[in-house]
Amino acid sequence: MPTVLRIDNLTKAYGALTVLNGVNIEIETGDVVAVIGRSGSGKSTMLRCINGLEKFQGGTIEVAGHKLGSGKSNLRALRTDVGMVFQSYNLFPHLTVAENITLAPKVVRKLPKSEHPELVKSVLARVGLSDKAESYPDELSGGQQQRVAIARSLAMQPKVMLFDEVTSALDPELTGEVLKTITELAETGMTMVLVTHEMGFARGVANKTVFMNEGLVWEAGPSAEMFDNPKTEELRCFIQPNLK
């Protein structure tokens, strides 16, 4: 499969604190990649660099045909092809679910109003919320709001989806709802990169896992191999207490 994301020697620092210290990753179309590691290892910062939310000092990122690094990047075009879902849902509370979903396609893609209902119907069906189009965010559970956030990203028809610890603020039952939705997306062939602390999910759903440590990709490979036979003591110590 063609490469859809390539990161070469990515470095990022906040003042004297180096967060990413030469990260190299290659992801193919259709991959579901779990990014794991301790807090402070650079996982979320890397994701934010991929989506142009953070500037970085060295290296390059090529994602879905967009190159970030030297020179200016067209961030609007980038974010049309690269969706991102955050830990906090970031839904507009004064807009209905349908309005939250259609806002970006209307503004960025100039999607005609006549096509809005079909788009809303399609993406809500994919996240199991077909009956919530006219609801407001505060009428939904946390898990439902997170699934609406996923639907909102899907509405832009991205080539790559990034998920930044999207279940960390949810209780176990709601976490299950969201992970079920992501699993179903994986089964459709959606290319996804997920920063997660859900080790069972990483092992069972992601076909590849990246373990980050001290701002580096410490280990990377097929998920089953990494969880069954970690090559480094750092990964072994990390997954043993976390794997359910």
Which residues lie across from 3 on neighbouring strands? Answer: 28
Q: How far apart are CA 177 and CA 146, in angstroms?
A: 9
Return the CATH architecture of domain 3-91+160-242: 3-Layer(aba) Sandwich (3.40)
Output the pLDDT for position 70.
63
Could you tell me if 65 and 105 are in contact, meaning their C-beta atoms sit under 8 angstroms apart? no
Q: Which residue has the tokens 């209307």?
A: 106
DSSP 224: H
Using only C-alpha atoms, the chain has a radius of gyration, in whole angstroms, of 18
Residue 172 Cα distances to 101, 167, 178, 182, angstroms: 26, 9, 10, 15
Tokens matching residue 212: 């980050």
Q: How far apart are CA 30 and CA 20, in angstroms?
A: 25
Domain regions of the chain by residue span: 3-91+160-242
Output the pLDDT for position 72.
66
Q: pLDDT under 50 in the chain at which residues?
A: none
Output the pLDDT for position 242.
63
